[in-house]
Structure 1
């Protein structure tokens, strides 16, 4: 068995329980946010090593080599900045300054190192894709790639060298762009999973509070009412008082069982059983009950929700009215189940403004929405109150409950 957020239960096939408990898991080959950032850094260092190897193959002075290493270090730091999500949220003037600095560090050394420095242009191409908007980014990216045709031609190298440098620049730009975006998306996915976990915890807290309200509110009201009745009966009708004490003990035991089932998440209610309990309780409170019941087969989920509606209606009747008559109607017509509870003895001006007045009707609306139902209330000037709940007798199989899906995904985290 497993529970749904509306309180109903359903069978779980062997082997399915663990899947529900764990929820969807992250694919094992998806890197952690820190690992994705490390992969990006290693890739950038790898491209820097290509330029270092190119420069090492040609004789240069100590000053030029020092200047080239300093330039590569500055480009590396600028690229790390451009690859971070903060860079894309930076003001336009900051983007212009850092992109301009990277462009100068990319193109000025070409005058001294010619084609050996050309590999650094791939970083600039990737930064332009990351920081510029839309078409401007792709236009600038292509312009950087085409510009790398010039150094090999000036050095009178074969055309294949010019094509290779252009192609490698464009490819490096795509790799830098893709790895930077991957690191950002992995971080976003991680943050989303954390948020889903928080939502799942919140949903479970709401379910627990809702179930406690629906179960214990009714049971404690019944215990209070019957205890007051026993207090009146003890002097004059001790035998009947003993019978009422037995009922109080039964209700207390049931309340304890209800608390345990709420904690374990497994609980189901029956509308027909609740109808019988409600009539017995109202009769003990000297409320005349007129019941009309025409029910057929109802799905367990709808049965539980409507039983919870009836419990809340009776609890409110006992707490907020001095009813003499209560009409209960539970009928099933044309695939729709309608539950109506109306009573007199309500003060039309009554409004419970206490901080602990409860949220029973709000809970019921949430439950009924989960089964495609609706709840309506009507107050009459003559002190009458009517609560009506409607829901389909049978739910379409295979339609997932949103709360259940969030809970299943979050419980694994």
Structure 2
């Protein structure tokens, strides 16, 4: 499945349903801009001391190395790097953070915020946060050693913590944006896959019955065409009706499973089984039900009749559809089942699995039983109405 399918599906959604999230590159760019801004401010503080070209070049070199180390620490999944490598890079950043304090003093204090942020990014929380706090408290000392006011020491401490939190927070946000961006693509691709499975499932459920009916009636026509031409002509008309309905089903299935009526499906099944010379008995005791329940149960009945025609030599069938205490129970039982039968086709056996999934969607259950002789029973039970079903979604069943 191509990623283009996912992007096309996402583009087809209404604009109000699409989440406006920044692209990963934009999030990474914001992180880089913030780090560069803090570094430039620190570098300007050093230059303002007027120590000369050589000290300024040394400071610039240290800033560049710290920036490279911070990029390494802020990359995705940097905390999964082997512990030895993390300790080496953290140690290097610590040296470049605290040793220049001996020369540049409080003007270099802004670098401590990056080291504090790296601690939060690379170390476990139970260790990182205490060390983070300790780094901020350490930055109280440089201004005091220079004889500056206490407020400057407090400012330096707060600035260190603020820079560390900003670096940590923007790094994590950039990672989350990247994960969200990837997840949206995966969800779109999953939606495409789900739609394809739905389309294949609906085609199986709708056309399996129709093709089985066409095959059965064609065989009947072949037997009747010479001895009973009028009845054969009537069966040909039925085949044409079924063929047209199959074409309509294919056209409608792309938009979702069409509404199906359980009573109409029962009438169709009764006529088809009668044409197949199957003795059919029907026990129908139903009231009103939701359209979704009626559609799913009608699909169950259709698949049961399809399996009866394809996989058995039944000569009798019992169909019960009973509604009691807000639940509907559909039972289809037939004889003529070969216990050793196995469908050799590559896609055999998916019909009942599809229906079990649909029954689960309406909080129902589907079960099958093999009788002691050659009987087979399919039972589907589901609530007549879902708790959230509106009144407009009811189907009247007589």
Quickly name the TM-score band, shorter chain normalised.
over 0.9
| SS in structure 1 at match of 2:288 | coil
State the Cα deviation string for residues 334-373 of structure 1 (Å, max 9, x = none): 1110000000000122233532214001001000000000
| Counterpart-to-counterpart distance in 1, 2:148 and 2:139 | 13
Shift of 1:226: 0.3
**Alignment partner, residue 191 of structure 2:** 200
Deviations 1:268-287 (A, max 9, x none): 10000000000000011111
Aligned residue among 371, 374, 386 for 1:395:
386
Rounded Cα–Cα distance in structure 2 between residues aligned with 1:269 and 1:300: 8
**Partner-residue secondary structure (3-state), 1:269:** coil
1:259-315 deviation digits (Å, cap 9, x = unpaired): 000012251100000000000000111111011101111100000000000000000
Cα offset, 1:20, TM superposition: 7.3
Which protein, 1 or 2, shows the higher relative CO under an 8 Å CA cutoff with sep ≥ 6? 1
Whether the 8 Å contact between 2:290 and 2:389 is mirrored in structure 1 is no
Q: Deviations over 1:31-55 (max 9, x none)?
A: 2211110000000000011111101
| 3-state SS, counterpart of residue 318 of structure 2 | strand
- Provide the C-alpha distance between the structure 1 equivalents of 2:233 and 2:219, rounded to a whole number of angstroms: 13
Pick closer, same or farther for the CA change 1:324–1:272 going to 2, 3 Å: same
Residues 231-276 of structure 1: CA deviation (Å, up to 9, x unaligned): 1111111111110000000000000000000012251100000000
Structure 1 window deviating more from structure 2 (145-154 vs 390-399): it is: 390-399
CA deviation after TM superposition for structure 1 residue 177, in Å: 0.8
Q: Tell me which residue corresponds to 1:349.
A: 340
Counterpart CA distance in 2 for 1:23 and 1:50 is 41
Structure 2 residue ranges without an equivalent (≥5): 1-10, 391-398
Q: Name the counterpart of 1:340.
A: 331
Query: What secondary structure sits across from 1:298 in the alignment?
Result: strand
What residue is the counterpart of 1:52 in the other structure? Answer: 43
Q: Secondary structure at 2:354's aligned position in 1?
A: helix
Matched, 1:376 2:367: yes
- Aligned residue for 1:43, secondary structure, equals helix
Taking the TM superposition and a 5 Å limit, the aligned residue runs for 1:135-174 are 135-174=126-165
Say which of 218, 231, 239 aligns to 1:240.
231
3-state SS in 2 of match to 1:322: coil
What is the Cα-based RMSD across aligned positions, in Å?
A: 1.6
Q: Matches of 2:25 and 2:346 in 1, distance apart?
A: 46
Provide the rounded CA distance (Å) in 2 between the counterparts of 1:22 and 1:278.
45
How far off its partner does 1:154 sit?
1.5
Question: Are residues 1:324 and 2:315 paired?
Answer: yes
Alignment correspondent of 2:395: none
Which of 18, 22, 25 in structure 1 is aligned with 2:18? Answer: 25
- The Cα shift of 1:21 comes to 5.2
Residue by residue over 1:205-233, the C-alpha shift from the partner in whole angstroms, topping out at 9 and shown as x without a partner, is 11111100100000000000000100111
* Counterpart Cα distance in 2 of 1:353 and 1:22: 47
Q: Deviations over 1:111-156 (max 9, x none)?
A: 1111111101100011111111122111010111011111111211
Are the aligned partners of 2:210 and 2:246 in contact in 1 as well (CA < 8 Å)? yes
8 Å contact 2:262–2:298 — kept in the other structure?
A: yes
The answer on 1:289 being equivalent to 2:280 is: yes
Structure 2 length-normalised TM: 0.93
Between the aligned partners of 2:248 and 2:317, the Cα distance in structure 1 is 29
